[in-house]
Amino acid sequence: MSFKEKPLMKINEGTVLFHPYVSKNSFQEVRKVLSGRWIGQGPLVDKFENNFKKKFSINGECLATGSGTDSLHLAYILAGLKSGDEVIAPVFTCTATNIPLLYMGIKIKFADIDPLTMNICVDSVKKLVSSKTKAIIIVHYGGLPCDMDELQVISKKYKIPIIEDAAHALGATYKKKTIGDISNFTVFSFQAIKHLTTADGGMLCIQNKKLIKKARRIRWFGIDREKKQNATWKNDIYEIGYKYQMTDLGASIGIEGLKDFDKILKHRQKIFSVYLDILSKNRNILCVHKDDGKRTHAAWLFTIISSEKNKIQKKLRDQRIETNQVHFRNDKYSIFKPFVKNYKFKNMDYAENKYLVLPLHHKITVEKAKFISKFINKIT
């Protein structure tokens, strides 16, 4: 596979914000699954977990699920969270980060964003943490790792786990450590438009290996599948479980996608660098990024902040180039209203109507990225 082959998009063609990547080999592998014995959860799920572990979570254990949201819910359960507990979570994220907390009756204390990175603001976390805090949930927005050193200091001081929603951050690193091999729990998403897709799916990485057996049970109704498959039918169900397993169909796509992952990541990072190089010279635009030598960006999103956001979006639309705000502040949704009374998020207020995500995926060529960047600079 090479992205130096014939350009996939011409300047005059419509440019979409996202485009799923599916390996050519996946078509053959899916056919094999459909003609075989295992369509649901089978040996390919185990293989995908093992392959993923070797690449992203060497020191932990990996559990493949039906979605990133499934993985988040399992992480919250395995972290020991229960009804009435308090957690600190980002106000700016996909609702999938915070909705599972509502399943569990957990009180959410929303933290503001860092205005330069749109990640969770460490100072905001410090102000919110208390003796009632049972976990800190973080999101690596766009693929840029959060300030992990500072967050880990808080985690150790109060003896509370960090749960990483790394749905954007597959392939990112912090101080040369892979995201997926740092915190107590790390969750990835394989939804259609992520770097690596299984059509839909997720992965939970757990550092405490003693929890993996429980994780496997509650992923599948609370049943010990190993005993069941060995014809031991009298094993008890003593904890509430869910139907959160991945299927071999999805795993077959994921296994092939992993083989291409390094090339996909390299290409996305190259496109990210083109945007950053050209747009960072524009005084009217802030590129959401942080280059302090500690972190490697996974390049899932390239986001700009500009008071001319609406003009930029309209002018790009006229060029048939799609842009958008991919996530929205959670405190504005009615389901989270009980948790935001008397809270203010000044950084989120500042960025709310100014941020815009540019197209970034395997079908965006360097030529296209340069055109988009120079066009934005021309109109602002």
Instruction: Tell me the domain boundaries of the chain.
Output: 24-256, 261-379
Distance in angstroms (rounded) separating the CA atoms of residues 102 and 107? 8
Interval 233-250 mean pLDDT? 91
- Six-digit token string for 265: 């990541």
In this structure, are residues 270 and 342 in contact, taking their beta carbons and an 8 Å threshold? no
| pLDDT of residue 122 exceeding 50 | yes
In terms of DSSP bridges, do strands 86-90 and 107-111 run parallel, antiparallel, or are they unpaired? parallel
Radius of gyration (Cα) for the chain, nearest Å? 21
If you average pLDDT over every residue of the chain, what do you get? 95
Q: In CATH terms, are 24-256 and 261-379 the same topology?
A: no
Choices 3.40.640.10, 1.10.1200.10, 3.40.50.720, 3.40.50.2300: CATH for 24-256: 3.40.640.10
- Cβ partners under 8 Å of residue 267, min gap 6: 3, 362
* Contact between residue 308 and residue 340 where contact means Cβ atoms under 8 Å apart: no
Average pLDDT over residues 262-275: 98
pTM over 0.75: yes
CATH of domain 261-379: 3.90.1150.10
d(CA 47, CA 199): 17
How far out from the chain centre does Cα 358 lie?
17
pLDDT of residue 40: 95
pLDDT of residue 6: 42
CB 114, CB 66: distance < 8 Å: no
> Is the pLDDT confidence value at 1 over 50?
no
Q: Where are the beta strands (DSSP E) in 128-255?
A: 133-139, 162-165, 173-174, 177-178, 185-189, 202-206
Work out the average pLDDT over 199-225: 95
Q: In the chain, pLDDT over 70 holds for what percent of residues?
A: 95
Give the pLDDT band of residue 191 (cuts 50, 70, 90). very high
Average pLDDT value for residue range 235-256:
95
pLDDT tens for residues 138-176?
A: 999 999 999 999 999 999 999 999 999 999 999 999 999
